[in-house]
């Protein structure tokens, strides 16, 4: 496996340790201790996710145009680390909002250039395995972070001290990017030469490049917008557990299980993607997410809720590998980061609106309407994807039958 994939995987491992130490407990902290309403939480999380995805198209496209990836990756992880520092010193919702914008904005800066560099560092028939390995290390960091959250909460460490502690892995993550080497040539629109002078591309350049994407790419984007309009923030899933009388100290455990499932499935899913195609992974991820959202409408026993998190974990494994490899496949040669950026930007705005809608619906009946909305939107996306990409799904099924 490419050293680039390994180093980026270790970087993601440390970054996720930092992020996932905080994520399972932040929603409860914001609502129960800071006193934010669910609607305000929805606005903050929506803006944070929106900023993350807004940056992806611009930094992905600029990295394609100036033929550099690594500086944007370093900037992105650095910005996210600064966001955690701002969260540690915050005492009111405006600074919390700024901190979340920095944290998620950093993710937006780094993701498209990083994923493009991973794709460029490995042959096309092994890209699924590469993204699967990266996802496994990323999710391993999440498991470690979740475990730390459980331990630190159990010993009654304050949230603010946990945030300060999270700065250690957040800044460690940056050092593992430094050994990564960019390819000597990044192909952009047929040009394989490295620029003598870096110049910022113009809007007309972007318009010209945007027209090079085919109809399948745009169909996938439109279906994914519908899906992400129903893909509500995980903050609401954790709040739903609290609403269903799951003890506060047990909530990080559910999220830990979710991430452990992703660790287990990441590499097998990547290999499946290489062998049988990406479209079937995307369809399955849409369908499973919709089914799990429907389950949260009803609630139930602890075992039932745990099974929903298991399904969510499988869905995200399929999603994280399937989306990226499918986008790389559908994007023109030399515009892979741009394709990833376009996708994550437009779906990011969909997530932002989804969080706002989820927050407003939550105000009326404490969760049921929120998850009815989520299940309906994501189920509709699964149905549309099935019909629009039926030939690709059928081809994957036929290849699977031939292997059996």
Residue 396 burial (CB count, 10 A): 21
**Token digits for 373?**
């909305």
Per-residue pLDDT tens for 345-401?
A: 888 778 778 877 887 888 776 678 888 999 999 999 999 999 998 888 877 677 666
The string of pLDDT tens digits covering residues 190-222 is: 444 444 444 555 555 566 666 788 888 999 999
Of 1.10.10.2120, 3.40.50.2300, 1.20.1250.20, 3.30.70.520, the CATH number of 3-179+213-403 is 1.20.1250.20
CA distances in angstroms from 181 to 5, 69, 333, 337, listed in the order given: 11, 10, 20, 17
The span from the first CA to the last CA of the chain, in angstroms, equals: 27
Spatial CB neighbours of 174, under 8 Å, sequence gap ≥ 6: 11, 74, 77, 78, 81
Q: Which residue has the tokens 């980026």?
A: 8
Q: What Å distances lie between residue 310 and 138, 144, 153, 265, 339, CA to CA?
A: 17, 18, 23, 11, 30
Q: Are 180 and 7 in contact (CB under 8 A)?
A: yes
Write the pLDDT tens digit of every residue in 246-281: 877 777 778 778 878 877 887 787 777 777 677 888
The secondary structure of residue 250, as a DSSP letter, is: G
**What's the pLDDT at 366?**
60
Domain range annotation of the chain: 3-179+213-403
- Does the pLDDT of residue 168 top 90, yes or no? yes
SS3 334: coil
The C-alpha atoms of residue 204 and residue 77 are separated, in whole angstroms, by 30
Q: Which pTM was predicted?
A: 0.71
Instruction: Return the residue matching tokens 């490419």.
Output: 2
Three-class SS state of 188: strand
Helices 302-330 and 93-120: angle between axes, nearest 10 degrees: 50
The answer for residues whose C-beta is within 8 angstroms of residue 381's C-beta and 6 or more apart is 223, 224, 226, 227, 230, 286, 290
Cα separation, 82 vs 104, in Å, equals: 11
Specify which of 300-304, 307-311, 346-350, 360-364 reaches the highest per-range mean pLDDT. Answer: 307-311
């Amino acid at each position: 496996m490419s050293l680039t994939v390994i180093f980026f995987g270790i970087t993601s491992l440390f970054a996720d340790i930092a992020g996932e130490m905080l994520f399972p407990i932040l929603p409860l902290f914001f609502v129960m201790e800071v006193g934010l309403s669910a609607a305000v939480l929805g606005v903050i999380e929506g803006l944070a996710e929106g900023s993350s995805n807004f940056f992806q198209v611009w930094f992905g496209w600029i990295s394609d145009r100036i033929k550099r990836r690594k500086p944007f990756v370093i900037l992105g992880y650095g910005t996210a680390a600064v966001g955690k520092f701002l969260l540690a010193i915050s005492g009111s919702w405006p600074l919390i909002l700024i901190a979340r914008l920095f944290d998620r904005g950093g993710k937006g800066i780094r993701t498209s250039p990083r994923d493009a560099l991973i794709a460029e560092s490995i042959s096309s028939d092994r890209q699924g395995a590469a993204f699967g390995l990266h996802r496994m290390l990323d999710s391993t960091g999440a498991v470690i972070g979740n475990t730390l959250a459980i331990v630190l909460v159990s010993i009654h460490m304050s949230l603010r001290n946990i945030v300060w502690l999270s700065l250690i892995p957040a800044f460690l993550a940056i050092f593992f990017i430094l050994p990564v080497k960019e390819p000597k040539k990044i192909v952009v629109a047929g040009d394989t030469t490295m620029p003598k002078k870096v110049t910022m591309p113009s809007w007309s350049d972007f318009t010209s490049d945007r027209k090079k994407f085919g109809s399948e790419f745009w169909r996938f984007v439109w279906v994914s917008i519908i899906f992400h309009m129903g893909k509500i923030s995980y903050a609401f899933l954790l709040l739903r557990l609290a609403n269903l009388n799951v003890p506060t100290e047990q909530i990080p455990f559910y999220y830990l299980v979710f991430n452990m499932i992703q660790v287990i499935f990441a590499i097998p899913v990547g290999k499946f993607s290489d062998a049988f195609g990406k479209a079937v992974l995307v369809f399955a991820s849409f369908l499973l997410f919709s089914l799990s959202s429907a389950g949260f409408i009803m609630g139930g026993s602890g075992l039932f809720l745990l099974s929903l998190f298991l399904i969510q974990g499988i869905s995200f494994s399929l999603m994280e590998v399937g989306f990226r490899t499918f986008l790389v496949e559908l994007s023109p040669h030399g515009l892979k980061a741009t394709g990833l950026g376009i996708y994550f930007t437009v779906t990011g705005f969909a997530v932002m609106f989804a969080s706002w809608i989820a927050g407003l619906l939550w105000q009326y009946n404490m969760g049921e309407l929120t998850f009815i909305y989520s299940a309906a939107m994501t189920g509709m996306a699964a149905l549309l994807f099935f019909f629009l990409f039926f030939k690709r799904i059928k081809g994957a099924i036929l290849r699977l039958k031939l292997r059996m």
